[in-house]
Amino acid sequence: MSHTDNRFSLHPDRLFSSDTTERAISRALYNSIKDLPIISPHGHTDPRWFAENTCFNNATELLIIPDHYVFRMLYSQGITLESLGIPALDGSASETDYLKVWKVFASHYHLFHGTPSRGWMDYVFCEVFGFEVELNAANAEYFFDTINKALATDAFRPRELLKRFNIELLATTEGATDSLSHHGKLKGSGLEKTVITTFRPDDVVDPQIRNFTKNIEKLGTLTGEDVYSWQGYLNALRHRREFFRNHGATATDHGHATPLTADLSLVACEALFHKIIAGDASVQDQELFRGQMLTEMAGMSLEDGMVMQIHPGVHRNHNAAVFQQFGADKGCDIPVSTEYVNNLKPLLAKYGNEKDLRIILFTLDEDNYSRELAPLAGHYPCLKLGPAWWFNDSPEGMLRYRHQVTETAGFYNTVGFNDDTRAFLSIPARHDVARRIDCRFLGHLVAQHRMTESAAYQLAHDLAYRLAKEGYQNCLA
């Protein structure tokens, strides 16, 4: 088969309703906002890319190895992570022939039919690299070579792609003890307000995290505080938050297993902290400590203005063997049911009525949207709802989200879209999906005469751009 057979392109009306009236409205709405700048206020791209601005090495290292959406599907079909080039923690051998890895991916590309990963990847192939055929086993080498030739050019350096993708703001996520050296290199480059960091303190507030004791020691070294006393520990966290703000951070991120919060007395906090530091804490003590720290972080956000994101409801590293061999973020995190109303009550009793506090809630438990989260965000001034997240970051998940939350929380208690990705080239693809689905939902409301067209045009703009920017405290604007 020649490379020009079976022409392939993205349909201009993809993801819109098959109803002709709704589709026409959605198409017009989408065309009014499709070229708006991208605000990406929460994600996990590597800041080194933008600091050093060197060419990406090859298609496999850019599009497969960092993307757990891709390799978890392949692993589920019995393809080992070693054969996909995923490095092991102990340095044992993994595949380094990246063309070979790419061919494995290409020969199994059919596995992704119907998944959001397929939509994102097809967008990257068609819109970013200009392919007009579908990837398959027969043309795998052609794809690999063509992508690699493009990546070797200046037009595909990270900073040029930021401009090409029209990314106005991109936030990375770093742990509390990170040096932020790459963000430091961006100062004076003109990109320090485009690529910013996010403060994620899990490494020093979750006693169950690997190397927690060493992280606490490092926290003390970095801040000069007595981190083995309760007040010194809190002061050290304030210092680190200030350090992150000086590197552009407007938000914090908390990946706790549950949204449990607590509001203990000072004496109880000191006693619990002593157990944690001494290594004498039970599992229940550790969970209570995490809950207390969410409340403490909310108080600090009220002090310094940083937006607080809470991402609970995941059994992380469910596959212990994979975690031990390859570490975290290897596609074996599994959603679990999550309760918010009672778990958040201590925090909300203390800070829920603070209009100057911004807490953005996420969930992987979709039942919670209509039952708990939308009612909570539809009442408490401090709460906003994050977009459909992770496993729900899909056309169907986004549409379910709008149907479940809008009738109770409205649109303006949400914060637009964030892509939460490690896969840099998928950012415009993901935002395009979100914009199309939002325009589909708005088109449905207009067609049912539940909303005027003028209101829908304003909402389309707000959902694509303004709400994300304002939701994260204007993102340095």
**121 and 185 together in one domain:** no
Residues 6+ apart with CB under 8 A from 400: 366, 369, 388, 392
Secondary structure of 153-184 as H, E, C letters: CHHHCHHHHHHHCCEEEEECCEECCCCCHHHH
CA distance 199 to 239: 12
Q: What is the pTM of this model?
A: 0.96
4 within some domain? no
**230 and 336 together in one domain:** yes
**61 and 152 together in one domain:** yes
Coil, strand or helix at 13? coil
Q: How big is the CA angle at 211 (ends 209 and 213), to the nearest 5 degrees?
A: 100
Domain-terminating residue out of 156, 188, 214: 156
Tokens at 333, concatenated: 């995190």
**329 and 375 together in one domain:** yes
**457 and 345 together in one domain:** yes
Its sign, for the CA torsion 463, 464, 466, 472, is: positive
Q: How many other C-beta atoms can be found within 10 angstroms of the C-beta atom of residue 2?
A: 7
Q: How many angstroms separate the Cα of 357 from the Cα of each of 205, 376, 382?
A: 21, 15, 5
43 within some domain? yes
Among the residues of 4-94, which ranges form H helices?
A: 20-33, 47-52, 59-63, 68-76
> Over its length of 477 residues, how does the chain's per-residue pLDDT go in tens digits?
334 457 899 999 999 999 999 999 999 999 999 999 999 999 999 999 999 999 999 999 999 999 999 999 999 999 999 999 999 999 999 999 999 999 999 999 999 999 999 999 999 999 999 999 999 999 999 999 999 999 999 999 999 999 999 999 999 999 999 999 999 999 999 999 999 999 999 999 999 998 999 999 999 999 999 999 999 999 999 999 999 999 999 999 999 999 999 999 999 999 999 999 999 999 999 999 999 999 999 999 999 999 999 999 999 999 999 999 999 999 999 999 999 999 999 999 999 999 999 999 999 999 999 999 999 999 999 999 999 999 999 999 999 999 999 999 999 999 999 999 999 999 999 999 999 999 999 999 999 999 999 999 999 999 999 999 999 976 555
**67 and 40 together in one domain:** no
CATH number assigned to the domain comprising residue 27: 3.20.20.140
2 within some domain? no
**32 and 128 together in one domain:** no
| φ/ψ of residue 360, rounded to 5 | -105, 120
**275 and 368 together in one domain:** yes
**200 and 243 together in one domain:** yes
* Residue 131, domain extent: 55-156
> Which residues lie across from 334 on neighbouring strands?
315
**295 and 308 together in one domain:** yes
* 183 touches 199 (CB < 8 A): no
The number of domains in the chain is: 2
Among the residues of 187-310, which ranges form H helices?
A: 202-205, 212-223, 230-245, 266-278, 283-304
Domain-terminating residue out of 156, 179, 214: 156
CA distance 469 to 475: 6
422 within some domain? yes
CATH number assigned to the domain comprising residue 136: 1.10.2020.10
CA distance 453 to 14: 21
Q: How many other C-beta atoms can be found within 10 angstroms of the C-beta atom of residue 141?
A: 13
**361 and 239 together in one domain:** yes
**373 and 277 together in one domain:** yes
* 247 touches 197 (CB < 8 A): yes
Identify which of 359, 262, 374 has the alpha carbon closest to the alpha carbon of residue 310.
Answer: 359
CA distance 109 to 114: 11
